[in-house]
Amino acid sequence: MAMIRTTLCFFSLALRPWLLAATLLTAGWLPAQTYTTIKELGGRQAKLFEQAREASGMNKLEEARAKLDQLLETTPNCIDGWLMRAGVQHDLGDLAAAERDYEQALALSADYYPLGFYQLGLTELKQEKFDEAATHLQAFLNTGAGKPDTRQRAARYLENTAFAAEAMRQPVPFAPYTLGDSVNTPGAEYFPVLTVDGKSLIYTARVEGQEDFFFSARRPDGSWGKGQPIAGANTEQNEGTQTISADGKRILFTSCGREDGLGSCDLYESALVKGRWTAARNLGPTVNSGSWDSQPSLSADGRLLFFSSERAGGKGGRDLWVARKGSNGQWTRPENLGDSLNTALNEQAPFIHPDGQTLYFMSEGHPGMGKSDIFISRRQPDGQWGKPQNLGYPINTTAEEGGLFVDLAGATAYFTLNVAKHNEAVNFNIFAFELPAHLRPKPCTYVSGRVTDDRRQPLGGAIVRLFADGNAAPLMELAADESGAFLVVLPTGQNYAFEAAAPGFAFYSDRFELVEVKNIDEAYKLDIALSALKPSTTAEPAPVVLKNVLFKTGSAELLAASEAELGRLLELLARYPQLRVRINGHTDDVGNDADNQQLSEARAKAVYNWLEGKGIETDRLAYAGFGESRPLVPNDSPENRAVNRRTEFEILSAAQ
């Protein structure tokens, strides 16, 4: 598959062409019959064999089979003829005929070509004849013949036969469907990834031998629009195996054979700046090696870069590695993901889901259906990766599967299939299917928006932070772009505190409660205007709602989860010593006015006392309760009442 080897790399055609051998070994599997080798043929028979070999070498398989038919009709004990025709039958897709020819050759002699057992076993494995495949693979191993890597593969295939038989008895739901002719063409399309919002599909397409990035926009009806090349990101060289950042502003990808490359294939990065993609930048010697480095997958927070590499220090073949982005914005030296995931054979095409806990990848080394299967591994509480689980049959088959991508909600998987008929040129197209429930990651949503000042001017570089509920250290931190825009992924299963901040401004607080959320209907959209702390000619700054300052129900007792956000208010007051604030308490309209007034004052006083206890002078603090008198929204639903129950701080005297 040289035409796409630069980036696709891990896909391959079936068995390699049959190689003649005359090794005399003793297998003891079948009684030998009288046979004739090619060296003993002469005249017309030798010519037919040579013509068949030449036709096979030029991929004229039907012609080769016809010549071998003539040869075997007149010389039925020609063992080389049976073996060659078995290989030709296999490459023509007639596996049953190939199986019969291998069996006939081995019946003539079990010693002449021990690899025949191996090739027969693989042919039966492809036909899902697992018991017969196990018998012949074991027979090959018993001969002691073959190179170490071939014997290793035979042992793995033997292990696979037991797994495959059980997997077929317990199939998983699988109904793949094509993305349609707007994306798929008679050419080749592969390595699909989606932007976080699910509205754009990015993929690699091969057009006249050239690999480029394409994108397709999702239509309102859910179908995909006409694929278009990505202007600026594509060059005269090949680009492919890409991953896109959560905000859609960076593409990391593989390119091979470039002048600035360090190995056969390297990882590169291009950024979207003011609507144009920058020239690709090699990630450099910290990430790239002198070997093959490819197939990147970037975590949703942008801090982890997973990829496959042939570099030294691995477990064998291609391994999965991860590089981490340090506090200085630079990538650290990659780490091998270890024995739980990597084997002595090839692991490739990693995909880290936006939940940050679920990794999909392809492997030849773990028990599977055939050559290479797709696996899932989940991050454990100690940070290690759990034992890989095969996605099962018929997602995995005796063919080669890989390159899986799962959408943000975790329900739909995208992958590549070879839709060419046997012996035709490879034609990869992009398909999707509904992922079985037990193989899904945590569903995720996201919050996006824009940060401006109180005059609605963009605050490029404003810092956006996401915190696990009650934690002071952020889960993630990023800077808004030049327009003030940002996007942060929110895995379900926990509650989050959110903050947007910029120097000279009061911070913005929000809260996302996702512990109980099972289905994600839509993302969160925020339009954030930060209040200036210094004197301004504009209107008085709006109060800042502290959405993560929480109390026991009907009480003024602060919950422990409030400490983190109170700490951020404390930090703001410490940074601006001349800033004076008033803590305001509000309730909904449940209960009588007097009780609500008392509760709102008590809650405001509790925050006042907390700040005073941390050393903030009382002349910089005030508090007030407003009961139910200042609702933000009508008290006509549980959701609206929750909005009106709030604690906030109001700037009384601006920082100088």
pLDDT in tens, 31-63: 445 899 988 888 899 999 999 999 999 999 999
pLDDT in tens, 536-581: 555 677 899 999 999 999 999 999 999 999 999 999 999 999 999 9
pLDDT in tens, 182-219: 999 988 899 999 999 999 999 999 988 889 999 999 99
In angstroms, rounded to a whole number, what is the distance separating the alpha carbons of residues 646 and 600? 9
Residues 352 and 435 in one domain: yes
pLDDT of residue 24: 29
The verdict on residue 354 lying in a domain is yes
pLDDT mean over 597-619:
97
The verdict on residue 197 lying in a domain is yes
pLDDT in tens, 350-382: 999 999 999 999 999 899 987 789 999 999 999
Residue 64 has pLDDT above 60, yes or no: yes
Residues 277 and 387 in one domain: yes
Residues 324 and 413 in one domain: yes
Q: Nearest to residue 391, comparing CAs of 158, 174, 179, 178?
A: 174
Of 518, 540, 562, the position where a domain reaches its end is 540
Cα-based distances in Å from 585 to 312, 364, 544, 644, 646: 61, 61, 12, 10, 6
285 cis-preceded (ω within 30 degrees of 0):
no
Residues 430 and 450 in one domain: no
The verdict on residue 577 lying in a domain is yes
DSSP 168-200: HHSPPP---EE--TTT--SSEEEEEEE-TTS-E
Of 136, 152, 169, the position where a domain reaches its end is 169
pLDDT band at 6 (very low <50, low <70, confident <90, very high): very low
Domain total of the chain? 4
393 Cβ contact partners less than 8 Å away, ≥ 6 residues apart: 164, 167, 168, 171, 172, 369
The residue range of the domain holding 654 is 543-656
Mean confidence (pLDDT) of the chain: 90
Residues 425 and 470 in one domain: no
The verdict on residue 507 lying in a domain is yes
Residue 10 has pLDDT above 60, yes or no: no
CATH number of the domain enclosing 571:
3.30.1330.60
Amino acid, res. 53: R
Amino acid, res. 402: G
Percent of the chain with pLDDT over 90: 78
The verdict on residue 5 lying in a domain is no
Residues 282 and 406 in one domain: yes
pLDDT in tens, 395-429: 998 777 778 999 999 999 999 887 766 555 567 89
Q: 133 phi and psi, to 5 degrees?
A: -60, -40
Residues 524 and 561 in one domain: no
The verdict on residue 584 lying in a domain is yes
pLDDT mean over 255-279:
92
Q: 24-28, 294-298, 335-339, 379-383: which range is least confident on average?
A: 24-28
pLDDT band at 467 (very low <50, low <70, confident <90, very high): very high
The verdict on residue 206 lying in a domain is yes
Residues 286 and 210 in one domain: yes
The verdict on residue 1 lying in a domain is no
CATH number of the domain enclosing 391:
2.120.10.30
Residues 498 and 608 in one domain: no
**Dihedral angle over CA of 268, 273, 275, 281, nearest 10:** -20
Full-model pTM: 0.84
Residues 341 and 380 in one domain: yes
pLDDT of residue 12: 27
> Tokens 């003024």 correspond to what residue?
556
Determine contact, residues 480/444, Cβ cutoff 8 Å.
Answer: no
Residues 354 and 495 in one domain: no
Going edge to edge, which strands form the sheet with 428-434?
177-178, 428-434, 412-418, 405-406
Residues 189 and 282 in one domain: yes
Of 540, 575, 598, the position where a domain reaches its end is 540
